[in-house]
Amino acid sequence: MAACRRVQPLLLLMSVCLLAVQSLKPPPGFGNVHPPALAKHQQLKAAILNPGNNAAAAAAAASSGSQTRRSSSWKLAEEQACRDDVTRLCAKHTWTNNLSVLECLQDKKEDTEIASDCNHLLWNYKLNLTTDPKFESVALEVCTSTMLELKECADEERGKGYLMSCLVDHRANITERQCHQYITKMTSIVFSDYRLICGFMDKCREDINTLQCGSISVGEKDLHSQGDVIACLERALVREAEQQDKAHQIKDQCKKSIMRVAELSADDFHLDRYLYFSCRDDRERFCENTQVGEGRVYKCLFNHKFEEAMSEKCRNALTTRQKLIAQDYKVSYSLAKACKADLRKYRCNPDTSMPRAREARLSYLLLCLESAVHRGRTVSGDCQAEMLDYRRMLMEDFSLSPEIVLHCRGEIEAHCSGLHRKGRTLHCLMRVARGDTGKGAVDNLCQTALQTLIQSADPGADYRIDRALNEACESVIQTACKHIRNGDPMILSCLMEHLYTEKMVQDCEHRLLELQYFISRDWK
């Protein structure tokens, strides 16, 4: 029973949320078209688990009493409010299946016009799906084995949505095929609208109003696409870390809710609705063959973030996601999964009783695991690969470090503006700190921020982490250091040995000296 309170906000059936209860009222003007209650248990189960089974889907929409005859064939596609949109946007073979039509319409681009009446009907239909107590009984049936394994979920109080919340939170560990399929369906439906997420509206209402995050949507009539609201709050959370007292301070409960939503959407980019819509074309361009799930699409898009063909809207959405990862490593599904055992083994999880800035969490964990590696301890290959990716990410984009943004803003504006991509801004700051510009040293806080970032990324252990250095020194490595294994720490020593020889090139010399200045100041 504690799941929803213990980890906020898990997905909770909206029967426990006042806003949703109020929304149960049929939309004005719809008369008798409000989606009927889903009646027969087995037909409901068949409709969810076999969305291609049109007969089962139609039967699952049946209502009881005098409406049975009319409702047994009730279909979203046939309602006047949505008929034109379904015909225009959805494949014909899906029209007889309500869940397929719902998935089709809610996954269309934000700039696709869907009638406001249809949006309203979709909202009420989704609300019925997520509030009907029969869905909990279906979960008990299709997740029988899972319930035996997850005692924590089996002990949840029935009839209040805690069971569904618990199963969604543990969905990454569910191996039972039908159960996983069922939970995935419900997750997709609920994540399409922030008001269907347990407690989110209650905990963030004040911040939504203060930050005017609701005003960036079309308005209250637009009940279809709600990703902008959460994205607005995420950007505000990032600004708070980068500007501190100058930015609006989001309430702690809302912060936890924002980060929890980001964590729950870490495995499937469809669940981050703003990023999903912002990056749909880019996903098709760069990651068309990347399988959805386990954070793979996120990682693929991260790797292409600075490509010239990447849209600015997608690049900005990806950067916000990366900044959330810098605040909470669990927002990266792949990192959290690959390093879970090592983090526990070497006690790297931050002590929550200690005063530690939220933005320091990723760097703290990287430093802890790097320390274990340097001491000769065993860290799994998968975890080290994830660490390499995120160390490279931190070196490539200075804006992912809130301390750099906060304390080096003046130096960046004065000496390094316009050099944002591929680690060039960071190397420019190193050059200023080293005194090469002749325009004075950097501020002590900026110097400390740079030193902390270099320690976290640890490019001395693998030169490939530093993209600017890697690109500048590639020709030297291929000639002077070709006898050393790729990625070996000795490559940096080899480059230093050839610093003033004929094999060295000017760009490599500059990048090497800039980095070496900070590495030599770190006794570790």
Q: Give average pLDDT by consecutive 10-residue segment, the chain, 524 residues.
A: 38 31 34 39 49 40 34 75 90 86 74 72 70 71 86 74 72 84 77 66 85 57 59 93 88 90 87 89 94 92 94 96 92 92 84 44 86 91 94 91 90 81 86 72 87 89 89 92 88 92 93 87 52
290 exposure class (CB count in 10 Å sphere: 0-12, 13-18, 19+): middle
| pTM of the full structure | 0.73
Is-contact 453 465, C-beta < 8 A? Answer: no
CA distances from 418 to 346, 398, 399, 414, 415 (A): 40, 12, 13, 11, 9
Is-contact 489 461, C-beta < 8 A? Answer: yes
**Terminal alpha carbon distance of the chain:** 47
Percent helix / strand / coil, the chain, rounded to 5: 65, 0, 35
Report which of 462, 496, 449 is spatially closest to residue 374, judged by C-alpha positions: 462
Phi-psi region of 31 (alpha: psi -120 to 50; beta: other; left: phi over 0): left
pLDDT at 238: 94
Report which of 110, 130, 277, 139 is spatially closest to residue 197, judged by C-alpha positions: 130
pLDDT at 127: 64
Phi-psi region of 418 (alpha: psi -120 to 50; beta: other; left: phi over 0): left
Is-contact 168 153, C-beta < 8 A? Answer: no
Residue partners of 5: CB distance under 8 A and separation at least 6: none
Q: How far apart are CA 47 and CA 176, in angstroms?
A: 18
Task: Give the number of other Cβ atoms within 10 Å of residue 413's Cβ.
Answer: 9
Type of residue found at 180: H
Q: How far apart are CA 385 and CA 172, in angstroms?
A: 21
Residue partners of 260: CB distance under 8 A and separation at least 6: 7, 8, 9, 10
Domain boundaries, the chain: 77-194, 200-215+224-392, 398-520
Q: How far apart are CA 109 and CA 46, in angstroms?
A: 29
The rounded Cα 236 to chain-centroid distance in angstroms is 16
Structure tokens at 336: 């959290």
* SS3 state at 35: coil
Is-contact 401 241, C-beta < 8 A? Answer: no
Q: How far apart are CA 160 and CA 250, in angstroms?
A: 29
Task: Give the number of other Cβ atoms within 10 Å of residue 233's Cβ.
Answer: 23
Structure tokens at 149: 């394994």
Q: How far apart are CA 37 and CA 132, in angstroms?
A: 7
Looking at the chain, the number of H-run helices and the number of E-run strands are: 30, 0
Report which of 44, 35, 52, 227 is spatially closest to residue 126, judged by C-alpha positions: 35
pLDDT at 245: 81
Type of residue found at 421: R
Structure tokens at 369: 């695991």
pLDDT at 144: 85
Is-contact 393 317, C-beta < 8 A? Answer: no
For residue 243, the surrounding DSSP H or E stretch is helix 227-243
pLDDT at 300: 96
Report which of 259, 260, 255 is spatially closest to residue 211, judged by C-alpha positions: 255
pLDDT at 31: 33
Is-contact 170 162, C-beta < 8 A? Answer: no
pLDDT at 270: 85
Structure tokens at 432: 């200023």
pLDDT at 522: 56
